[in-house]
Every structure is written in structure tokens, then in C-alpha cells.
Amino acid sequence: MKSTHKIIAPLVAAALATGLVACGGGGDDDDTPSTPSTPVTTAPTQEELVAKAVDNIQNVVVIYAENRSFDNLYSDFPGIDSPLATATYDKQVDRDGTPLTSLPPVWAGLTTASAQFDTTVPTVATTATTGMPNAPFSINETYPGVDINAVNADMWHNFYQNQMQINGGKNDMFAAWADSGGGLVMGHFSGNASKLPLWQVAQKYTMADHFFMGAFGGSFLNHQYLIAAAAPVDPVTSANSATLNSHVAILDDGPQGYHLSVNTSATGAASALTGPATSIFKSNGAQLTPDGYAVNTMQPPYQPSGNKPANDAAGVAEGVLADPTQATTLPPQTGPNIGDYLTDKNVEWAWYGGGWAFQLARATNAAGWVGSDYASVGLQSDGKTPFVNFQFHHQPFNYFKRFDPTTAAGIADRTEHLKDGGVNGEQFIADIRAGKLPPVAFYKPVGNLNEHNGYADVLRGDQHIADIISELEKSPQWGHMLVVVTYDENGGIWDHVAPPKGDRFGPGSRIPAIVIGPTVRKGYVDHTMYDTTSILRFITRRWSLPELPGLTVRREGLKANGVDQGDLSNTLDTSATAAS
């Protein structure tokens, strides 16, 4: 065998010699110690800083108000990228597409005395609202005495009508497809910097000026999008068709379209100037799509519900179920929601419903059942106490089978997760002060404090939420908290910014959103595109949850239209994270 040691030996010798020189062993006696090398550190990337900022959040609090477009309250908020005063927008057109010569009257009257909490608010009848110019207008400048302290007429905010009003992004048919609110859809409040409590909060923290409602339409569907990012299902079958058919939308553009068929012979069908759109559709207010999605208000299958308690087999009212034979009682839902995924990860959460215990106590049996004060507005007979005004369809988890009050598991889940917020938020505030909020908490103010047109004013609700923020800032949990204050939908009110194209169900019109917390950017306006489901995206990211199917659909729908949806992480101050 051929030896290799003659080749290896010189190489080893050379290596040893080199090593000695490198170690300072080249023959001198210098024992000076070598200078230790400085470790090389790499600055964290922006992505790493954002991830750290997200992980730093230990409590997410969502406060869900009602029915205001962004322009309605914040049209001139400093730093927004499209102030209404300098914006361009399309004039409102009539039902036939021709420009309106003026805005329609407010058919129901702008204000009525019986609806007010502030008795100094003047009554503005329909006749005082005729001939308004075809343009956005300041309500408080046009009608002195009618400001954010006034309860104004309500306006349509339904699934199909919202899409017809948006009209492919032109936002030019809000007046055409309005009901009794008429031209009020174009109204906004001005001068809010000095009088709107949440304006000051928004200036202190982060205002999101491209935040859109999760779904087209009203409260029912948008509350479902807040927790599930999906429309509930109520398919029409051969067994229930006789009951449900009259609740299915009749459309001109197919089962997945959005153009409601108009009865052209109906009074007011020709023009918005001759009457509201209230009775001109062949399926006005239909709750169901032709393929079985519930998109307008349905009632929970469990009490408290807008439908009376069901009777058991013996004919005795149970007091815990809503009558399932009523067409508007939604069957218990079995699809996933964010509560399911949080529970599966052992993350505590709760929905605090304003007036929940108050209303639940009234759902005892069919004979003694008392519905909501929804039809009663303003003050009670003592002249100082507001009606509680509880809304059943504002309690989204009460539609899910997991919370069935006839089962032990359902009762346990209701007790743990469906909390009473108190008639004036007092129960929610008690948990804030005690530092007992779960990692994820939703708070829904009761009706008279939620800012909904028709039964609430802006000022009282805004002050209530600002007071809640003040309590949160003093909470022992504040140091690692993220608070999102937003609105469920626009309340039928016009906004000049077109929503991006997403999927079949949304997003809808632009709404205000304020992000609050000790590690949130201060005095910042975030131009990132968000919608209601961005809240779910943040929760999903923070606790490493599976992506809800509806989030996938929305993300892919927006992406297909060239839009990247944010998850609220851009509102966090990463400079604070870098220093920690």
C-alpha cells in the first residue's frame, strides 16, 4: 500500500507553525493578554419588533358602539388623508341614475320631542327639511339646537340597501335608497374637536381613518362578523319553505346578487323626491339570501330574544328558549367563532352585554315575558330615567349552540362567558377596577348609551365610552392592554370613501375606529386598510389561534382585488418595544 505520511507530515508541521504564530508563540516572551473580541449583535428587524409588541399585549378590550359613519363624526379630524372639506365625491343620483335636484326631505322628521334625553332639543318636522342642496351638510349648522345631544331620525342600514347605496364604490345612491331618513343620510356634525369626548381620546392615541364595517348592512350581521367573520345560515328546505319563503330576498341579479327587485307601480318608486324607499321593494327587509344566509335581523334561539319563549311538550313555557316556530328565530349556529378558538387554547374571554341581566330577568315565560324597550325611546315618565333599550340582536354569542341554556355544558359556558355589563356599564367597570378582565373582553353598551340614531344621541354614548376608557387607563391591567373602540356599522349614513372590494358579504362603508393603550402610537392617524375582522386577526395573531374560515375568505377576497388588510399591529409603537 502506498504511504501518505510524507505528504501529511509537512502539512501538519506548517499548520502547527501557523498556529503558534497566531497564538503569539513565535519565539518572543511577550505575555500581554489578547484583547477579547466584541460580540457582533444584529439589530432586530421591524417584523421582530412588531411581533414583540404584539406579544406584549395581555388584554384586548373591544368596545362596540352603534351606527355612525366616519364622516358623520370625524370628517375634519386632523391628520386624516381625505378631509371632507377638500374631498371629491359624486353627487347623489335618483333611482333612475339621474342627478337629484335636491336632497329628499327627512320623511320621518329630523327630530321628535318624545325621543329626546335633552328636552331643549327642538322638533324639526319634515317640512323644515325640504329643498336641501344635493351635498353633504352640517346638521348642527343647518338646524341650530340639533347637535350631538340630539336623537335624530333613524335610517335604513340593511344588507342589500347598503350595497345599492354604495353603488360599486361611487357612494352616490345613499339618498335614493333611503327610507324615512331621506336626505339625513348626507348629514354630519361639525366642530366636534371641542365637544366630542372621544375626539380627545383619538387625538391622544391612534385614529384609523381607513377602517370599514365588516359586512354590508346592519347590526345583526356586523355583530356576527365581529365574532365569527361569517354570515349565519338558515337554509330554506322543503320542510320549512312555507314559513321562510316570505323572508327570502327577491333579487334582479341572481341568488348571490344584491339588487333588490323594485315594484315599479309602488308609490314613490319613480323618485326619491316623491317618497321613501320603504315600501317599493318586492321583498323589503328580507332576512335571508336565496341560498340560505341570514343577513338582516333574526332573533336569537335562546332568551333573551325578541321572540317569546317556546313551550315545552306539556305546553308550559320554559322561559329559556325562543319559539323556534317563528320564522325570525334563527336556528342555533354551529359554525366556529373566536370564542370557540380561544376556549380551545385555554384563553379566557367574555362578552359583557349592557343590560344583559336586566333583560334576562324579563324572559321568564310566555305569559310573563316582557320584550325590549326598543319601541320606547327617550325618558320614562319620571322625566329623568332613560329607557334601558336592550337589543337582542346585539348579543352575537347567544345565537350559537354552544350556549344552549337547556344543557349543563351550555349553562356553564353562558355563566363563564356571557356576562352582564350592567345597565350603565357598572358591572363591566367593577371588573376593570378589580383587574379581573379576561385576556379578551367585548363590551356592548346598552341601547340608550350606544349612539344609535332613533333611540340614542351621540353625546351620552360618547361620554359613557370616554368614561370607560378613563377607567381602563387606571386599571391594574392597563400596562399590557390594547383597546379598540369602533362602531358596528354606518347606520345608513353616507361616507365619501369607497370601501375596498372584498368578498360577497363585505366590507361595507367606512366607520370610526380608535385604538388605545400604553404601547399604542400616540397622536397618530393610521391609514392602513382595516375592517371589523381586523380585530379578529389581531386576537388570532396574539394567541396563535387557527384562522377562522371567514377570515380566510376575506383575506383572499381583498388580496384578489389588490388590497392588503391590516391586523391592527401597525398601531403599536415599536420604538417602545425596541427599548424594552
- pLDDT tens, the chain, 580 aa long: 444 443 334 433 444 344 434 444 444 455 555 666 666 778 889 999 999 999 999 999 999 999 999 999 999 999 999 999 999 999 999 999 999 999 999 999 999 999 999 999 999 999 999 999 999 999 999 999 999 999 999 999 999 999 999 999 999 999 999 998 899 999 999 999 999 999 999 999 999 999 999 999 999 999 999 999 999 999 878 778 878 888 999 999 999 999 999 998 887 788 999 999 988 999 988 999 999 999 999 999 999 999 998 876 555 556 899 999 999 999 999 999 999 999 999 999 999 999 999 999 887 777 778 888 877 889 998 998 999 899 999 999 999 999 999 999 999 999 999 999 999 999 999 999 999 999 999 999 999 999 999 999 999 999 999 999 999 999 999 999 999 999 999 999 999 999 999 999 999 999 999 999 999 999 999 999 999 999 999 999 999 999 999 999 999 999 999 999 999 999 999 987 666 6
Residues ≥6 apart with Cβ < 8 Å to 273: 94, 100, 101, 102, 104
- The alpha carbon dihedral of 311, 417, 425, 453 has a sign of negative
Angle at 469 between CA 533 and CA 81, to 5 degrees: 55
Listed in sequence order, the residues at least 6 apart from 195 whose beta carbon sits closer than 8 Å to its beta carbon are 147, 148, 459
**Strand, coil or helix: what is 420?**
strand
Which residue is listed with cell 493578554? 33
Cell representation of residue 578: 425596541
Euclidean distance between the first and final Cα of the chain, in Å? 66
57: its cell numbers: 399585549
CA–CA separation, 301 and 308 (whole Å): 10
Q: Are 183 and 129 in contact (CB under 8 A)?
A: yes
pLDDT at residue 31 in the model: 58
Q: Specify the residue for cell string 381586523.
A: 534
Q: Does 3.40.720 match the CATH number of domain 153-579?
A: yes
Separation between Cα atoms, residue 371 and residue 388, nearest integer Å:
11
Closest CA to 493 of 16, 224, 250, 174: 174
